[in-house]
Amino acid sequence: MSFNLTLLTQMLAFAAFILFTVKVVWPYLLRAIEQRQKTIADGLAAAERGRQDLESAGKRSAEMMVEAKQQVQDTLSQADKRGAQIVDEAKGVAKTEGDRLVAAAKAEIEQEVARAKEALREQVAALAIAGAEKILRREVDARAHADLLAQLKQELR
């Protein structure tokens, strides 16, 4: 065992190497590792955010489904109601129209009946007069009994 200048030289070399590692080697690696850790953390956070987004989107879509169903239901029932209303209205209109037609027909019929009665009465009167004239021709002067005949005609009317 002999100590000599080698000891000091080696100490210097050691110091230089430590300095090199402290100043040059370590920071590079530390930076890379820290960056990677940050990247990983960011990725995890992004994944978590994506998961939450997905969850909320699912929730929202379910809500929208419920809403849409409700809307369809509403529309359907509204349409039903409207349809029933239209049918009712149509029924009402048809009924009034029918009533009106019936009333008009009745009126016409009555008119016809009245006209027929009139014609019939006219003919009956004419027949009666004719009958009476035939009877009276022999013994009644038509001219003398004209007043009577006119009166009879009037009565028959």
The residues binding other proteins (CB under 8 A) are 1-11, 13-15, 17-18, 20-22, 24-26, 28-36, 38-39
Beta carbon of residue 43, minimum distance to other proteins (angstroms, whole number): 11
Structure tokens at 7: 């000891």
Cβ within 8 Å of residue 152, ≥6 positions away: 128, 129, 132
Q: Give the integer Cα–Cα distance in Å for 66 and 60.
A: 10
Q: Give the integer Cα–Cα distance in Å for 156 and 125.
A: 6
Cβ within 8 Å of residue 157, ≥6 positions away: 121, 122, 125
Q: Give the integer Cα–Cα distance in Å for 63 and 27.
A: 53
Output 12 or 90, the one with its CB closest to other proteins.
Answer: 12
Under 8 Å between Cβ of 93 and 125 = no
Beta carbon of residue 48, minimum distance to other proteins (angstroms, whole number): 21
Beta carbon of residue 25, minimum distance to other proteins (angstroms, whole number): 5
Q: How far is CA 84 from CA 96, 123, 139, in A?
A: 18, 57, 81
Beta carbon of residue 51, minimum distance to other proteins (angstroms, whole number): 24
Output 22 or 64, the one with its CB closest to other proteins.
Answer: 22
Output 38 or 115, the one with its CB closest to other proteins.
Answer: 38
Output 15 or 72, the one with its CB closest to other proteins.
Answer: 15
Output 15 or 94, the one with its CB closest to other proteins.
Answer: 15
Beta carbon of residue 14, minimum distance to other proteins (angstroms, whole number): 5
